[in-house]
Structure 1
Amino acid sequence: MRLSAAAVAFAATLPYAFAQTSTDCDPLEKTCPNDTGLNSKSFKADFTSDGGLSSWTEAVATKIELGDQGAEFSISDDKDAPTVETDFYIFFGRVDVTMKAAPGQGIVSSVGLESDDLDEIDWEWLGGDTTQVQTNFFGKGNTTTYDRGGYSSVSSPQDTYHTYTIDWNEERIEWIIDGSTVRTLTYDDPTTLGGKNYPQTPMRVKLGSWCGGCAEAEGTVEWAGGKTTFDNAPYIMYVKSVEITNNNPAKAYKYGDKSGSYESIKLLDTDNSNLSG
């Protein structure tokens, strides 16, 4: 999830906010550990059953409960920002998330794909917006402009389960709601700067929510839909399931150089031998 300039400033003050404004190791700047890959074509997490969170890591201070409605991402005060991410990366593929966004003015629910070099593809819902969802993407952490976002209509996202899909390959990204494509981004779209800012490196899946209406910055509060009060808390985002298709299964992914191009990514087996040339 990437935010507006004002929201980025606020997110920097939240240690557990669901925002990729930095990375533990940027492979465009130095040699980093290889990314653990999903070594199969498919993966499914059923959050309505025990064990649904296996292969996921909870962020510090995150406590996710599993129940009949799925994984509960609950916000009760301004410090809460529950977040989980996969223990593995995928290299192009499809992610289907069946969920209900959290209600509550100023509450932000998010589903995203994020890479070590700050490539990113997002869905975002505002708790007070009952008719639409935001889509966005970023490449190589470029936040010089915020003209990449879009809005798509969706009925009662806080009250109704919908399946939100990111279908991602070398040529295009599709954002899909309940089987219908609502946005397509091509590699050569002008906003990708000739493909340089097209998301194209191995990604983890992240799910989370946070309180944008708790910010001190007025711009952040305005973007999130207004000041948040907690009279009706907790505000809960429910995720029933996540299904993942990995187009390029591997034990690990290695950045072959510092270009950030998908053509430089190497698929590795367990002993780090090169499988893809």
Structure 2
Amino acid sequence: MLSLKDILAMSSPMRLATIALLLAQPGVSQTYTDCNPLQSSNCPPDAALGQSIGVDFANGQSDQFSATGNPTYDSNGVSLSVAQQGDAPTLISDWYIMFGRVEITMKSAPGKGIVSSVVLQSNDLDEIDWEWVGTATQQVQSNYFGKGQTGSYNRAALHDAPDCQNTWHKYTIDWTSDEIVWQIDGTTVRALKAEDSLGPYPQTPMQVKFGIWAGGDPSNPQGTIDWAGGVTDYTAGPYTMLVDSISVTDYSTGSEYTWGDQSGTWSSIRSKGGEVNGNIGADTIASGNAPAVTTAAAGSNVEPYSGTHASCSTCSSPGIGGWTVSASSEPSVTNTDYPGLPSGWTVSSSGKVIPPSAAPVIDVPFRLVCLVAGSLASGFVLRLGL
């Protein structure tokens, strides 16, 4: 088996071919933003919602969302199901909001290892979440991240959601420059003031995403499987998340949002044909007397959703379906420049080959790196007749 030293000792063409092959593998999952405005000044504008909309999925597919996987529609709304390994149907908004309110009426999916998620996410990996684990029939988790930084995984909180797999509940996220408010059926269960944020406060244009995935897939890291409630038994499925309707209000106006600089602050965001906070008004939810919440600490059984956010040094690899979590006891990652790697490429302390920040971030088990590199090297040797 080849070591990292062996790979770095390869000739430049062979080494680059090895890395290119890794990037091209369909089974190698990637987590990245198409263009992170903190790393590039040439990112395209974000299409703005700029208004309020309501979608009743009982009426069928909506032109406001793009679907991945195979969601189905009937009188109950949209069904997102995991029936076999690799299933992870998701609906993603075709627009962004710059502060706003999202209300979704839904039933979470049952099942060991099954995770239902509703996520607001920006191009620079600001994020606000609701998450349901299939073995927790009376509970939902809230979470948030700024600029993809997980910190010490201490931002999640647990909330009562009675019989959430069989009862329709309305889950709300109200997001302004001052605070985030989470509500269940109109009752505030959590409020976060911007000044109390652990790490950067989410404050850049966000898409709305919701879907289901198998955190308990056997190919996932053990920490992911444990957090999701155990190994998923696909033969006992399908496991279905139901969404009746969603309403979204953009608290800003205009047709698109652009970044005035790379500060990542809300005041740097520009609106074409409108105004940031131009639609904020009396319907904004005030936190009032928000109840105290139990925030997860390192070592607890509450894990953050990390298919889209990352530590400040590297993005986490998604598991089957594209969304995954990382164990709260995961050590911090440091990257090292090695002689012989292409310019800008590094290797993390866990053996991850990390491309430049502008490229998709690959989280590949080092065994796979060695295997592919070894196979490729053998092919070169045979071809050369050595």
Give TM-score scaled by structure 1 length.
Answer: 0.86
CA distance in structure 2 between the aligned counterparts of 1:107 and 1:92, rounded to whole angstroms: 30
Q: Is the counterpart of residue 233 in structure 1 residue 237 in structure 2?
A: yes
Q: Retained in 2: the 8 A contact 1:121–1:137?
A: yes
The percentage of aligned residue pairs carrying the same residue is 45
Q: Retained in 1: the 8 A contact 2:50–2:251?
A: no
Q: Retained in 1: the 8 A contact 2:129–2:143?
A: yes
Q: Is the counterpart of residue 23 in structure 1 residue 33 in structure 2?
A: yes
Q: Structure 2 counterpart of 1:55, which letter?
A: Q
CA distance in structure 2 between the aligned counterparts of 1:243 and 1:144, rounded to whole angstroms: 31
Q: What's the counterpart of residue 170 of structure 2?
A: 163
Q: What's the counterpart of residue 100 of structure 1?
A: 107
Report the alpha carbon displacement of residue 215 of structure 1 after superposing the two structures with TM.
3.8
Q: Is the counterpart of residue 209 in structure 1 residue 204 in structure 2?
A: no
Gaps of 5+ in 2: 1-26, 277-386
Q: What's the counterpart of residue 49 of structure 2?
A: 38
Q: Structure 1 counterpart of 2:50, which letter?
A: N
Q: Indicate the structure (1 or 2) with the bigger Cα radius of gyration.
A: 2
Give TM-score scaled by structure 2 length.
Answer: 0.62
Q: 2:180 aligns with which of 173, 182, 198?
A: 173
Gaps of 5+ in 1: 1-12
CA distance in structure 2 between the aligned counterparts of 1:22 and 1:167, rounded to whole angstroms: 26
Q: Structure 2 counterpart of 1:35, which letter?
A: D
CA distance in structure 2 between the aligned counterparts of 1:268 and 1:252, rounded to whole angstroms: 5
Compare the two structures and name the one with the higher strand fraction. Answer: 1
Matched positions, count: 249
Q: Secondary structure at the match of 1:191?
A: coil
Q: 1:201 to 1:25 in 2, by over 3 A?
A: same
Q: What's the counterpart of residue 155 of structure 2?
A: 148
Q: Retained in 2: the 8 A contact 1:25–1:116?
A: yes
CA RMSD of aligned residues (A): 1.7
Q: Secondary structure at the match of 1:214?
A: coil
CA distance in structure 2 between the aligned counterparts of 1:219 and 1:28, rounded to whole angstroms: 30
Q: Structure 1 counterpart of 2:53, which letter?
A: F
Q: 1:68 to 1:275 in 2, by over 3 A?
A: closer
Q: Secondary structure at the match of 1:219?
A: helix
Q: Retained in 2: the 8 A contact 1:131–1:156?
A: yes
Compare the two structures and name the one with the higher helix fraction. Answer: 2
Q: Deviations over 1:230-255 (max 9, x none)?
A: 23211000000000011102100011
CA distance in structure 2 between the aligned counterparts of 1:106 and 1:207, rounded to whole angstroms: 17
Aligned ranges 1:195-274 → 2 under 5 Å: 197-216=200-219, 217-269=221-273
Q: Retained in 2: the 8 A contact 1:22–1:118?
A: no
Aligned ranges 1:37-116 → 2 under 5 Å: 37-40=48-51, 42-50=52-60, 52-59=61-68, 62-116=69-123
